[in-house]
Amino acid sequence: MKLSTRLNGLQESITLKLNSLAQDYQKAGKTIYNLTAGQLPVKPPQIFVETLRNEALFLRSFQYGPVAGFPELREKFLAHLSNTRKVDFQKAGYDCLVSNGAKHSFANVMAALLNAGDEVITISPYWISYPQVIQYYGGKLIDVKTSFHSGFIPNVSEIEHKINEKTKMIVLNSPNNPTGVLYSDSWMKEFATMIKKYPDVWIVSDEIYHDIVYFDPAPTYFYQHDESLLKQTIILEGISKNLASTGLRIGFCAGPRELLRQMELLQGQLTSGPSSLVQRALIEYDFKEYQDYLNSINDHLRKNADALKVKLKEYDMASAWYQTTSAFYFMLDLTNAPRYKKLDLNTQDITEEFCQKILDEEGVVVVPGNDFGLRNVVRLSIVTSKENLETALDKVLKYLKG
């Protein structure tokens, strides 16, 4: 079959692939401990569920909505962003484009901005979809590596070092998937000072985990230190994480009006606006309400992060611990494992082998770090129940103890 060359190198999302593999095992009767989840295992706030049900009574909920999203919702998202980030986005000339999840928003941004050969600076380990989408639209990935030793915080001067005349944009994601850390306010300030020197470079700030934070301080952003940077900034947000609604597929992008207008034209031809029903429910729903709902979820994540620390100690892997603060994840460094002490993991990559073994022998599913741009590391999701997490960790860490 002669396919488009645009598809060369496009890979299936490893998280989705592992999830379906885990489901197959489960159907076959095997007990599976799934530590791959990028979503909360609970329903959204009840009031939101009721609002959705109520909106299903209206004809308008089943019909095409405006391409960019309902104007009331776009305004509401922008106002919500202004309240939570303490920045007046309306005044800054921002608009909001509602799409089928923040992943779609990200793809829209790449489609609107990238030309073949444009360089996009990403920080690794990164969210798996960044390289795939960037490359699909002809962009060249320029990776700034972070590691366990630097607490997965990138060095601002290293980012600056990679900027040249081909640099189109930098993608930041704080709080971060897959590391579970966020970049401090002083880091954001330093970044703001640096990037101010490069007004032609866009910054895509993926803030989808903004509300999933279980240790103070709350996340802040570079543009809060210098609002003039807003004209080169695009913010990605959505309801997948804070409203536990990954399946409703609503995300949005906020950015300078002229750019968003172009993205709207593209969205109009490719997908049209996202679900009218969900948008109508969001117009009726009070966003302030979800904070209470998230408090208990963030408490749960904090307890699970603590349980992880205790377990690592119990299995002589305390040196693999670092303080996560946010999002759903922890990166487990396999190079710290007693089992692999004798191997030279600078030259050898045992991630795939480990993931396969731990699934086949113990029924635990984890995501290999290779797809995030990091070898000999796996991503563990800590959203599951504490008992489930502890049982899965016992299995993983016992194996790693060797």
Residues making contact with ligand PLP (CB under 6 A): 38, 101-103, 127, 173, 177, 206, 208, 238, 240, 246, 251
Find the shortest distance in angstroms from Cβ 206 to ligand PLP: 5
Output the smallest distance, CB 371 to ligand PLP, in A: 13
332 strand-pairing partners? 378
Nearer to ligand PLP, 237 or 362 (CB): 237
Counts of helices then strands in the chain (DSSP H, E): 12, 12
284 Rama class: left (phi>0) / alpha (psi -120 to 50) / beta: alpha
Please say which residue, 301 or 400, places its beta carbon nearer to ligand PLP.
Answer: 301
State the Cα–Cα distance between residues 240 and 170, nearest whole angstrom: 23
> CB of 246: closest distance to ligand PLP in angstroms?
5
CB of 144 to ligand PLP, least distance (A): 16
CB of 273 to ligand PLP, least distance (A): 15
Q: Rank residues 277 and 400 by Cβ distance to ligand PLP and give the closer one.
A: 277
State which residue, 183 or 315, has the beta carbon closest to ligand PLP: 183
Provide the minimum distance between the beta carbon of 208 and ligand PLP in the complex, in angstroms, as a whole number: 4
Q: Which residue is nearest to ligand PLP (CB)?
A: 101
Q: Which residues contact 139 (CB under 8 A, 6 or more apart)?
A: 110, 114, 118, 119, 120, 168
- Helix, strand, coil percent content, the chain, rounded in steps of 5: 45, 15, 40
Q: Is the Cβ of residue 10 or residue 310 nearer to ligand PLP in the bound state?
A: 10
Angle, alpha carbons 23-127-239 (nearest 5°)? 75
DSSP class of 213: B
CB contact burial 166-198 (16+ within 10 A = b; e otherwise):
ebbbbbbbbbbbbbbbbbebebbbbbbeebeee
Residues linked to residue 380 through DSSP beta bridges, in sequence order = 330
Closest CA to 264 of 111, 76, 89, 143: 111
